[in-house]
Amino acid sequence: MNKIFPDSFMFGGAIAANQAEGAFEQDGKGLSTADIQPYLPNVPKTDLHFNDMDSETLKKYIEGDYYYPKRQGVHFYERYQEYIDELAKMHCQTLRLSIAWTRIFPNGDEDSPNEKGLQFYDNLFDYMLKKGIEPIVTINHYELPLNLVQKYGGWYNRKLIKLFVNYSKVILDRYHKQVKYWIVINQINLIHFEAFASLGILMDKVDNYQEAKYQAIHHEFVASAMATKYAHELDSSLKMGVMLADSLVDPMTPSPQDSLLAFKRNRLQYYFGDVPIRGEYPQFILNYFKDNNIDLQIKEGDLEVIKENTADFLCVSYYYTNTVDATKDSMEPAEVEKNPYIKANEWGWGINPNGLYEHISAYWDRYHLPMMIGENGFGYNDVLTKDKKVHDSYRIDYTNEHLIALLKAINDGAEIFAYCSWAPFDIISAGTAEMSKRYGFIFVDYDDYGNGSGQLIPKDSFYWYRKVIDTRGTFLFKEDK
């Protein structure tokens, strides 16, 4: 086995604007769906209370007396140079991050963009490039303008195609000389765990919720293809990617029923990549729609624009694996069982480095498209010692084994150009809106209510990751690391 990553391979990290920037009303920014996600400390960590949403709950979250952590994030908006400086000290080569739609179009449907929002990203990207860190930008990462939910009904409304494409054109025009790699929509398939954050649909405003979600995804496919078309015409060097949250499953047992369910469930996930990469709806998903009374409204020209403007690369987020049991689970993607052979963290995520090797290899075998790891990480309640240290050997072990798994896939021929650990410095959790679920190589001294000094403190994993980067991965195999 070759124990070194290619010279062109980029080591880095990934964040989202809504989890890091804060400054939720500063310089003309409007409210996004993320800005109304409350911190609910008494809700179990595995309860995704911000997933499926109805009008009553939305009103409660908008008008309620809650603490909203994403409104201040970790103050990246004001302190971005400090954070980028620390990443540069860790020798990061790339940072995947997102542009907040509501900084550019506060309500999502304005005629003209907000210049102050545009200027912030000008400054950010310039500073990153000055420090030798290549930006990989997500156009839409769970930052849907709240107005587009309330006024239009989210992505279920076809009008969002035009509004999103308009937003995409503005930022592509502005930043195409600074940014080469673009991910159009974050984790486009994760509608079973982050439906509201992704699509902005209110359950009580549609007749058939499942159908509405797939209709919204169709609108996202069309919008993505149109944005990709514009990018390629603007600058042929731009690379436009589709992103999947790895949701492939294993059968719980060798029984034919479990194997068949896993096969069908995995096909259901591949569909989200098949359409934007292969450029057409596969027959198996059309059969699934028919069997489940899902009648998509596909307008003239939709399939042509999807066919003619496919993605340039695949971005995959990978954290854990699950299994399915045919005696308990259905085709509903959220129905999974924990693998009894692997350990899980307190959020229920089963840690399985072999799964990364298997799944990324499966994507390569299916698509033969350049790939990157857009997210991979280990959430944990880190302890800051009295002498300002964080001894996170568990994070080192997790990342070490997953990078070795990735290298195995590369050795087998997979073309993988970047690894972005989630998140290189601590940020607000997407699912639970807590700060104590920490992923970073850099400790950020804020608690779940935003209290703290904000000091940036390198963890043990910071120095370990720097050595991995400096040695192009050979340090992964050192016994004395």
> Is position 2 within any domain?
no
pLDDT (0 to 100) of residue 363: 98
Domain of 184? 10-477
DSSP string across 247-282: --EEESSS-HHHHHHHHHHHHHHHHHHHHHHHSS--
> Is position 3 within any domain?
no
Q: pTM (2 decimals)?
A: 0.95
DSSP string across 105-145: SSSS--SS--HHHHHHHHHHHHHHHHTT-EEEEEEESS--B
Question: Residue 297 corresponds to which tokens in the numbers above?
Answer: 């409204």
pLDDT (0 to 100) of residue 193: 85
pLDDT (0 to 100) of residue 42: 87
Note down pLDDT in tens along the chain; length 481 residues: 889 999 999 999 999 999 999 999 999 999 999 999 999 998 876 677 788 999 999 999 999 999 999 999 999 999 999 999 999 999 999 999 999 999 999 999 999 999 999 999 999 999 999 999 999 999 999 999 999 999 999 999 999 999 999 999 999 999 999 999 999 999 999 998 889 999 999 999 999 999 999 999 999 999 999 999 999 999 999 999 999 999 999 999 999 999 999 999 999 999 999 999 999 999 999 999 999 999 999 999 999 999 999 999 999 999 999 999 999 999 999 899 988 888 877 777 778 999 999 999 999 999 999 999 999 998 899 999 999 999 999 999 999 999 999 999 999 999 999 999 999 999 999 989 999 999 999 999 999 999 999 999 999 999 999 999 999 999 999 876 6
Q: How many domains does the chain have?
A: 1
In sequence order, the 6+-apart residues with CB closer than 8 A to the CB of 414 are 360, 361, 364, 371
pLDDT (0 to 100) of residue 308: 98
> Is position 1 within any domain?
no
In sequence order, the 6+-apart residues with CB closer than 8 A to the CB of 195 are 51, 52, 53, 201, 213
> Is position 5 within any domain?
no
- CA-based nearest residue to 113, from 10, 29, 47, 31: 29
Specify the CATH number for the domain of residue 181.
3.20.20.80
